[in-house]
Structure 1
Amino acid sequence: MKAKGFIEFEWNGEIIQNAILTWVKSLFGGFSFFPLSVPFFERLNCFKSKELTLALSGFSSGYYEIELQLFAAADEGRTEPPSERRRREEKEKGNVPKSNEVASTLVLLGGTGVLFLLGDTLIRNTAVFIKKYLPMGMKLDRFGAEEFRVILSGVSRDFFNLLWPVLAITLVFAIVGNVVQVGFMFSPRALAFRFDRIAPNFKRVLPNRQTLFNLLKSLAKVVMIGIISYILISGDFLKVLLTGNMGMMQAITLITYSGFKIMMAAGLLLLGIAVADFYFQKFEFEESLKQTPSEAKREMKEDSGDPVMKNRRMQLARDMMQGNMLREVPKADVVITNPTHYSVALSYEMGRDSAPRVIAKGENRLALEIRRIARDNDVPIVESPKQARLLYAQVEVGQEIPQEFFNAVVQILITLEKFRKKVGMG
């Protein structure tokens, strides 16, 4: 049975209007260092919350039923964090956490900015373009095919020259919008044909966390852009009504500047939404990469082999190493033991070794086996619990004993008649 919940929405005009206006002012206040945002901020400071009543009059109280399952993990049982292998495979496919809102918002801000900075030039060039080709448009029926081709070529060339700065800037901002999110990345596999791209948005129709977030995001865009547009248009409304009494260039400048203010304000609002969308998409991407315990186990098996077989191979390697080590015990000069736990076999070859060398060691059952082999081969066994523990813990098989053990080990060795004869001491 699916768990259900309710969101209650009660419209308290004054409280919500004040909250929305405070949020908008805070957002633009954060951009007050940007000169182009100053006109917006000055207008907002003069705007009162009661002026939102008309703009928000369509909202009413109510409650909405939602399924709480929307907020659960996308796939039940996916509790294991994604592995580096899974991340790498998804990146090779071109699947990375990315928000389209970031790129589109930067394109909007960049395009609006370049239109503002080059506005006078664009208006003059547009006027020249119209004066040049409008009379020709009135006489098209008089032109032959060759003349029409020349005119069309000129229109295309001049139109491109008119707009290329805007197109270039928007292209740069589109690239930057993607690079800041995923870096410089090229994935040939992302260009390959896949059947799931035929209807990529089909799953988004079904209720889930992504569709709910997209709904809230769309509502936020409509409401906030509507509010800021109403605020800014209301400030210039009377001026726009008087454009009939202005010169053409003055009227165009006023309307263009009003449109620029709205576009920049909308862009800054959308930038805040884009940042939130980026972090949400990153969270959703991480959730989609999570694995079930069985998937994680299977992946580990593929990367490092079957754990059972791996343990078996390690055991065989240990057995082989122990077998080689035990074959060295008969060559030992002495086996130092802790009677019940440790055995360390030492050997010293004059001319080869600068100090006695550990050739075998073991604890518990292996220690007993070392002692048994030593007895069978007449290797002296000396009980020295302290030295046995220290040698076992600090010296590896094949290593010479450290200097701090010299005195104690030499004292043991010189008491052994077999060793004294070996080194010519009697």
Structure 2
Amino acid sequence: MIGKEEFKQVILGYDPGKSFRIDLQLFAKPEDEGRTEDPTIYKERKAREEGKVARSQEMVSGFVLLAAFIAIWLLGDYFIGTSKELITSTINNMDMPFTPGNLGHYLENAVWNLFKISGPILLITVVVAFLANVVQVGFMFSPKAMKVDFKKVSFTANKMFSKIFFSKQTAMNLVKSVFKIGVVVLVTYIIVNWKKEIILNTINMEVYTSFSTLANISFYIG
């Protein structure tokens, strides 16, 4: 019959005279070594519940801007007519006595006319923005994404300053914004220089024709 020490030496290969080493890499996670695995269905569902999905905000902004310009082009006559009504109403009411009752009536008409001008564009852009997000990530409602997590908010001035002004994301957003502004300025300059004679001639046109001409030029810029 062998003893306890002999059993360790024969079965486990244990030698009291030598050091016993354990390779800690055997207990390491795949993520610690730079290896990743495909997310499970549970992880994907949890990420969607928290609103952590990949989507392009530039794509949404592009579609919204394009939809707004198309709406202005298609509804140009309506906008011009409504704007004409607003201007005419404002001029006709300039001699109105300044009383609380008349002021309320005047403001009510002005707000209503402004809503008639901007309402269709706002409605179209909201619908297009919603559809652009749905196309990218599908229909998703995430109340968790609207919760404010104060643990992620840093009230340290140095951290806030470095995160706002010296982060990689801030630098990339700045480069993209400067590039987009440069493209818009360049396109605007080219089109205005191309249509400058027509723009200068609008002073001799009727109000309706002048508005229509400027709207068409704005659509070219868009």
Instruction: State the TM-score, normalized to the length of structure 1.
Output: 0.39
Where do 1:365-404 residues align within 5 Å?
none
**Displacement after TM superposition at 1:78 (Å):** 4.4
In the alignment, is residue 218 of structure 1 matched against residue 161 of structure 2? no
| Partner residue in 2 for 1:80 | 36
In the alignment, is residue 146 of structure 1 matched against residue 101 of structure 2? yes
Contact 2:72/2:121 (<8 A) preserved: yes
Higher relative contact order (CA 8 A, sep 6+): 2
Distance in 2, matches of 1:198 and 1:130, equals 50
SS in 2 for 1:95: coil
**Displacement after TM superposition at 1:255 (Å):** 1.7
Contact 2:82/2:113 (<8 A) preserved: no
In the alignment, is residue 205 of structure 1 matched against residue 168 of structure 2? no
Where do 1:13-412 residues align within 5 Å?
78-81=34-37, 83-84=39-40, 85-136=42-93, 138-139=94-95, 142-195=97-150, 196=152, 203=163, 205-208=165-168, 210-263=169-222
Distance in 2, matches of 1:173 and 1:125, equals 24
Distance in 1, matches of 2:197 and 2:110, equals 37
What amino acid maps onto 1:135 in structure 2? N
Change (3 A) 1:145 1:202: farther
Structure (1 or 2) with the greater strand fraction: 1
What amino acid maps onto 2:200 in structure 1? L
Change (3 A) 1:133 1:198: farther
What amino acid maps onto 2:196 in structure 1? F
**Displacement after TM superposition at 1:194 (Å):** 1.4
Larger Rg: 1
What amino acid maps onto 1:79 in structure 2? R
Distance in 2, matches of 1:233 and 1:111, equals 20
Distance in 2, matches of 1:95 and 1:201, equals 25
Instruction: State the TM-score, normalized to the length of structure 2.
Output: 0.71
Give 5+ residue unaligned stretches, structure 1.
1-74, 264-426
Count of residue pairs brought into register by the alignment: 186
**Displacement after TM superposition at 1:97 (Å):** 0.9
Change (3 A) 1:202 1:94: farther
**Displacement after TM superposition at 1:204 (Å):** 5.2
Sequence identity of aligned pairs in percent?
A: 30
Distance in 2, matches of 1:223 and 1:161, equals 33
**Displacement after TM superposition at 1:187 (Å):** 0.9
